[in-house]
Amino acid sequence: MNPLLQPFNTAPFSKISTEHYKPAIKKAIELAKKEIAEIVENEAKPTFENTTEALDFTGERLNRITSIFFNLNSAETSDEIQKIAQEISPWLSEFKNDITLNQALFQRIKTVFEDRDRLKLTPEQKTLLEKQYKGFARNGANLNDLDKKALRKIDASLSKLSLKFGENVLTETNAFELHLVEEKQLSGLPDSTKEAAHQLATERGKEGWVFTLDYPSYIPFLTYADNRELRKEMAIAAGKKAFQNNAFNNEQIVLDIVKLRHQRALLLGYKTHAHFVLEERMAETPEKVIAFSKDLLKKAKPAAKKEFKNLENYAKKIGGISQLQKWDGAYYAEKLKKEIFDLDQEILKPYFKLENVIAGAFTIAHKLFDLNFEAVTTIDKYHEDVKTYNVTDTNGDFIAIFYADFHPRKGKRNGAWMTSYKPQQIKNSKNERPHISIVCNFTKPTATKPSLLTFNEVTTLFHEFGHALHGMLANTTYNSLSGTSVSWDFVELPSQILENWCYEKEALALFATHYETGEMLPMEYVEKIKESASFHEGMQTLRQLSFGLLDMCWHSQDPSTISSIKDFENAAFANTKLYPNIEENCMSTGFSHIFQGGYSAGYYSYKWAEVLDADAFEYFIEEGVFNKEVATKFKENILSKGGTEKPMTLYKRFRGKEPKPDALLKRAGLL
């Protein structure tokens, strides 16, 4: 009996084994095809209900199964799962094409779409209909048969290439380790980092200490290790992932991906891949994104150059370094920051015990949005590290199920993300509530210490929890418009705005207590955290803009003449460059956001969303950070509405006006 093909509410992780996936996905594709056939073969005149709405409710079983599979491929993968992913990805892109290139289905949707002004549709229904029609048109429904065939071929290739790209990055990440056996090589490193490295060495059957390219190991090493040569070794290893002369090199894959994306855009009648992507975003065009980025660059660059010069002088003064390199940046910045603000990240860590930070995030969600979180052990999970919660509102009504997976392990990709195992929708008059998950990579508890977070990790947890709230508070009719199903440059608003509470005294007072003494985080530290928040903001802004502009360079022009990725990248970075170039390193071959994740022609959205979040949070500051009225407006107009209306419409309804960059520039100290 295949557990994936039996009815289930929460994902039946403990019953699933790898051989269940392929037959379950094959069967679920068949079921979904049947549901589509029923719509197409319906002899009644196409209506919103029997066509548009019916289509939105198809493929439910398939979506549930594939969400389990692909979430595990990121959080708990194995060679077997990766092999299955390579096999099923073409099936899924083929199935997607079966729908979007189904002429009879498109005709029905087109009929409803052309009739839309005569139908009495709600704003949400209008959005669904428009999104569906465009979904078909943007995926080739208006193409001739020959071009449709070409499109299918491109899509199948792209889905395999992006999977291979991610596998190569993961393999290269796992392949590197820095194994140290002399105590003196650890000079400068915090005890917690040394302890974690020793624990890892023991797990790997080695003496001494092992450091890896996983963030909880890599970031502290580059920030604190006194040994410059070892920092260099780590930084170069991280920068040459999938850019080495071996089987895991991503250079050709990157070129193939950008060329196929460009061909796809041309086939669909767009000038470039960026023009195709941005048509459905808040920003609308590449020209607008580039102008937005260059405007911020103009304001940030003088500050960035000044900050870099100061840092270089400081490194010369205390370290005798003639040329500041990438492996020196975090190290000297941390020392300078400590000197200016007298704020040591390591002193802060004991106040940020993981369990306390989680409880703090829950309390803030309760104060703002009336949510209660109850830890439960009855929900099946895919790894013992995963925590599970029932989420209810103040009336005791069920809101969501919440999974949280916090620690790194083999088979889990780096970084942090939010995802879902079941979407929210209203079907047959029943409001089906969502199952939401966040996945992070925070230092594991050791034999003597609990998991203690850096302040950066605290903001990461709040960031992902902001996405989770967007998913949990979803309250729309159609799952394709629910929760985080919003335009890409709007999706980061709920996550980035929540980070602001990490800097507020009233919020920190709820969770920042010393794990041993229970003492509250001293107020002078709170002040210093706030003051230091804009430290090197010019350089940080420049860095983010450089990634966004690199993404735009790859996707807003014809890439057919590009032969050297490294040369292309150097040209793209020319205007944002601060550090000397490292010949053996390359950003693009490891740039998973744009070549594996969904951020192609969309990386700018982090900065775009920062403008939104700073402007939105200013409203909270004006009225009080726990002001119920503002929080309710945010919940009702942003968090619960998903993608039911245009983002700017929803934003203006919450804020009363369009966002301006002034609040961001003020917060960053760049005005």
Task: List beta partners, residue 420.
Answer: 436
CA distance 572 to 208: 42
Contact 263, 558 (CB under 8 A): no
CA distance 598 to 551: 12
Q: How far are the Cα atoms of 268, 448, 519, 594 from residue 288, in angstroms, in the given order?
A: 21, 52, 49, 19
**Tokens describing residue 654:** 């919450």
- Rounded to 10 deg, the angle between the 286-319 and 605-623 helix axes is 80
Q: Which residue has the tokens 């013992």?
A: 384
| DSSP string of 353-396, one letter each residue | BHHHHHHHHHHHHHHHH-EEEEE-S-S--SSTT-EEEEEEETT-
Q: How far are the Cα atoms of 7, 67, 397 from residue 11, in angstroms, in the given order?
A: 10, 10, 21
- The single residue of 53, 76, 307, 464 carrying the catalytic annotation is 464
CA distance 421 to 179: 38
345: Cβ–Cβ under 8 A, 6 or more apart, which residues? 223, 334, 454, 455, 456
293: Cβ–Cβ under 8 A, 6 or more apart, which residues? 545, 548, 549, 552, 604, 607
In one letter, which amino acid is 204? R
The CB density around residue 633, as the number of other CB atoms within 10 Å, is: 17
Dihedral sign from CA coordinates of 138, 141, 142, 148: positive
CA proximity to 420, closest of 22, 61, 64, 21:
64
**Tokens describing residue 552:** 């735009």
**Tokens describing residue 512:** 């920042």
**Tokens describing residue 444:** 């594991």
CA distance 141 to 267: 12
Contact 442, 92 (CB under 8 A): no
Annotation says 346 is catalytic: no
Active site residues: 464
